[in-house]
Structures are given as structure tokens and as C-alpha cells.
Structure 1
Amino acid sequence: MKNIIYITAFIGSFIVLQLSTVIAQEHEHDGQTHKLELELNQGKRWTIDESLHIGMTSLKREIEINLEAIHNNQFSAVQYQELAGSLNDHLNFLFKNCKLEPKADAQLHILLARIMNGVEQIKSDDNQKQGVVLIIQSLQEYPVYFEDSNWQSLKH
């Protein structure tokens, strides 16, 4: 009876070890496929839909109307929090309404993650101005990677 318990424990341990190895290899493979750099679509910009244009224009407009006060250090902590809330609303619009083909959507999520990082920095009270800079950089990258014929560059 003791031998059966040892054999069962050994087989169980072996199966768990093998399963853990397979899961670790799959996780490692998945990590390699998640790129953090934006890429063009075989040398061309990605096609967009109307909701992407609306959402990105709304993000840009929100930054534009507040940029002078931010630049001149005349933006209060309360205003930064309000700005972060408005930017989050625009991001939520994008996530809810934008319907791109999967590869374009993956590229968009890289760009939106950068904007979200900027919003989080604005919320953190730690160099909020730098959070705005991160968002501006992302807004400048947008027309490089996405075909938005109605896009107007950020005025600053």
C-alpha cells in the first residue's frame, strides 16, 4: 500500500512539473509576441474608423485648450485631476466605440497605453506636467502610424 501511495505521489508530482513547464514556455512565448513599439502596416499607415478620429481629436482638443496654462505653470492640482478625468472619458469612448481590424487595434492599444500612462502620471501628483508631455508625444505619433486624413496637428 505504501508503494502505491509513493508511486501516485511521484506520478502526480511529475504531471504537475510537466504542466508547469508547458505553461512557463507558453507564457514566455506570449511575452515575446507583445511588442511595445508601434509599427506600420507593411510600410503604410493603419486604416481607422470614424470613432477613432473623434476620440483622438477629443483627446487632442482637451490638451490644446489647457496647454498654455499648463506650460506657464498656472494649472492647479484640481485642474490636473479634472483634466485626467476628461481624458479618461475620451479613452473610454475609444475603447467602447473603436472597431479596427485586429492588427490595427493592437497598434492602437500600444498608443493608448502610452496615453493612459500619461493620464496616470497626471493623477499621481508627481510631475503632472510630464504626464501631459507623454500624451502630447503620443498625439504626435498618432498620424505617423494611423491614416487620419482629417487630423490636424496639435497647436502649441
Structure 2
Amino acid sequence: MKPGRSLAALATALALSLAAPGLTTAQTAGHEGHSASSLELVLNNGAKWQGDENMVKGMSAIRGAMAANLEAIHGGSLTPEAARTLAADVQTQVDFMIENCKLDPAVDEQFHGVLAEMAVGTSALEAGEIEPGAVTIVQALNAYGEHFEHPDWQALE
């Protein structure tokens, strides 16, 4: 992983979070007693947002990467090297979704909040802050599942 990657992820998070004005706060539940996220998302007039195939593909890959590492994360045995690899895998998918975005503006505005949280989580993982980084990503994944249509989506714990 390139040293500038953390700075790029942080800049992405800031840019994405500033690009979504006017949202109401929808706090996501804390992950196993951890503090709640202040990820700001709303439903589409009470319904989940409809995304595109790139969003579904990228989010499925991120969920899969996190699920594959949850036991080590929960057990405190995920190494800093493995955390950096996980961060790179997540960031690759975030980059893919940004580069291939075909979302309607209203959906895109909501999805930016999820991507911003992913960037915050990857930055923490890269910095060796494994638990906070993983919790941030899991909370973003779970908020995504509550606000976006995604066939067979299952929350992570």
C-alpha cells in the first residue's frame, strides 16, 4: 500500500461527506457495544434506494472481505499487515464504485455517506486502528443494507 493512500482515503471521506448536504441524521446502532455511527442517511420516501449493478457488486465484495475477517477481528488476532490488506481490498471496491458510478443524483447523494464512512474505516485500518476501523466499515455496511435495495443482503455482527 502506498503511503499516500491513507491521505487519499481521508480526502475522499471529507469530499464525500461535504458533497451530501441537507441530510437528516440516522444513527446506526453500535456494533456489539461500540459507539454508534452518525452516518447520515434517509430512506427514499420510506422505501430503500435503488442502486446499480456496480454498487451491488462493490458492496458485496466489501461485505465478503469483512465477513472473511470477522473472526480474527473479534478475536483480536487480525495482524496489522492483514488489516492493511483488508483496507486495500475495501478501498479497491470503493474506487471501483466511484469510477463506475451510474447512480441517479438522489441515490448518489445518499450513497456518498456510506462511501465516506468506508474511507474513514480504511484509513483507521491502515493506521493500525483495527477495531475502530472494522467497526466503522461494518456500521457503514449495515446502514447500507437498511437504506439500499440489495438482493439477499445480510447485516454483519
Whether the 8 Å contact between 2:73 and 2:130 is mirrored in structure 1 is: no
**Deviations, residues 51-106 of structure 1 (Å, cap 9, x unaligned):** 11101000000001111111111111111111111111111111111311001001
The structure having more radius of gyration, on CA atoms, is 1
Instruction: Indicate the residue corresponding to 1:119 in structure 2.
Output: 122
AA partner of residue 139 (structure 2):
Q
Q: Percent identity?
A: 31
> 2: distance between equivalents of 1:142 and 1:58?
13
Two-structure CA RMSD over aligned residues (Å): 2.1
- Using a 3 Å threshold, how does the CA distance of structure 1 residues 107 and 155 change in structure 2: closer, same or farther? closer
Higher relative contact order (CA 8 A, sep 6+): 2
Runs of 4+ in 1 over 4 A off after TM superposition: none
Q: Secondary structure at the match of 1:147?
A: coil
Instruction: Name the structure 2 match of 1:85.
Output: 88
Between Structure 1 and Structure 2, how many residues are aligned?
125
TM-score, normalised to structure 1, is 0.73
User: Greater helix share, 1 or 2?
Assistant: 1
Deviations 1:13-32 (A, max 9, x none): xxxxxxxxxxxxxxxxx999
- Corresponding position of 2:35: none
> Which of 39, 44, 47 in structure 1 is aligned with 2:42?
39
Aligned partners of 1:64 and 1:154 also within 8 Å: no
CA contact (8 A) 2:20 2:109 kept: no
Checking the alignment, whether the CA contact within 8 Å between 1:57 and 1:151 is kept in structure 2 is no
Of residues 146, 150, 155, the one that matches 2:148 is 146
Structure 2 equivalent of residue 132 of structure 1? 134
Check the 8 A contact 2:145/2:155 in 1, yes or no.
Answer: no
CA distance in 2, matches of 1:32, 1:45: 17
- Counterpart mapping for 1:7-22 below 5 A: none
